[in-house]
Amino acid sequence: MKWRLWLAPPCRGDEAMAWDEALFLSEASRPEGTPVLRFYTWQPSTLSLGRFQHPEAGLNPGISQGSPLPVVRRTTGGGAIWHDQELTYSLTCHQEHLEVSGVKASFELLCGFILKTWQAFGWEAGFARDSDPQGRWGAVTAACFAGTEEYDILVQGKKLGGNAQRRQGKAIFQHGSLPLRLNWDILRQIFRPEDCPSPEHVTDLASQGWLGTPQELAEQLAEQFCRHLDVVPELWEPGPAEYQLFQKSLEKYQDPEWTLRGYGAVRDFNHIASP
């Protein structure tokens, strides 16, 4: 099985989300298409809200409206993330591209490469559910990193990054945030005290002693991805078809109506003809 690998340049939040959506709408999510794994960073740093998250939920007053911080709304659910010094991945595929079916199984499979990467670094890493099989997971939190869910990845007992999936029929999209270094001062300015992630429960790569660049991390993750899913990578960049989809999606992600009031809207992207 071949996967296309796109080591994308840094981009603004609205562009980052529009590219992710363009890939989800492209042939990559169809059974006959070739799936895509993308890595990117955010420039400037941006706050992303979950698909159905109220723009003020869990945030200090004025953060999502009236502050100079760029804000976008994701197409995936969950809580808000401050994308700062991090590497983000996104992957787009069809159920038939995977050897498992079902949401949880696919999520476990598609997060497995991250787990393998941390383990290859020599870290004690596992899914949250394995660290405490009796644990109650899934509490809804306004900040993504503040919650712990079954398939969150823990390193030495602390959550490292967050991942979320979107599905339409058998088309699968997943992206995740991998913080190289969390800025706790900024996080405390953004999130209300009761919703703010804390260093007691959350970690980043720098705290684990890894001080490489986003590009170096992307290369390590890509290698583990190919090994874990037994796929062959093909370096790739979007062509005119994807760019056309990107332009269409960009209008939405630049529209404050979507960012600030999109939590009530049902349709957020065009339908994928998914058999």
Partner 1 sequence: MTEKRYTKNGEWAAWDRDRLVVGLSRPAVDALGEVTFVAPPSTGQKLLPGAPSFTVEAVKAAADFETPVAGTVVLVNELLKATPELLNKDPENEGWIFVLVDAERSAWEGLLDSQAYQAWTQTGAS
Applying CB under 8 A, which residues contact partner 1?
51-52, 75-77, 101-104, 107, 137-138, 140, 149-151, 163-169, 264-267, 271, 273
Please, which residue, 45 or 274, has the CB nearer to partner 1?
274
User: Which one, of 108, 2, 88, lies nearest residue 41 by Cα?
Assistant: 88
- Asked if 72 and 17 count as a contact pair (C-beta separation under 8 A), the reply is yes
Question: Cβ atoms within 10 A of the Cβ of 64, count?
Answer: 22
The distance of closest approach from Cβ of residue 77 to partner 1 in the complex, given in angstroms and rounded to an integer, is 4
Of 93, 144, 196, 226, the active-site residue reads 144
Q: What is the DSSP letter of 194?
A: G
In the complex with partner 1, the residue whose CB is nearer, 5 or 81, is: 81
C-alpha pair distances (Å), 108 with each of 35, 129, 201, 256: 18, 11, 21, 34
Q: How far is the CB of 103 from partner 1 (least distance, A)?
A: 5
**For partner 1, the closer CB: 117 or 165:** 165
Which is nearer to partner 1, 210 or 269 (by Cβ)? 269
Active site residue 144: yes
Q: Helix (H, G, I), strand (E, B), or coil: what is residue 159?
A: strand
- Alpha carbon dihedral 47, 50, 52, 56, in 10-degree steps, equals -40
Q: How far is the CB of 128 from partner 1 (least distance, A)?
A: 11
How wide is the angle at C-alpha 38 spanned by C-alphas 79 and 273, nearest 5°?
80
d(CA 206, CA 188): 19
Return left, alpha or beta for 171; rule: phi > 0 is left, psi -120 to 50 is alpha, else beta.
beta
Minimum separation from the CB atom of position 206 to partner 1 (A): 26
Alpha carbon separation from 39 to 89, 120, 169, 219, 273 (Å, rounded): 4, 19, 25, 9, 26
**Could you tell me the smallest distance in angstroms from the CB atom of residue 109 to partner 1?**
12
Distance, CA of 147 to CA of 224 (rounded, Å): 26
Residues assigned a catalytic role: 144
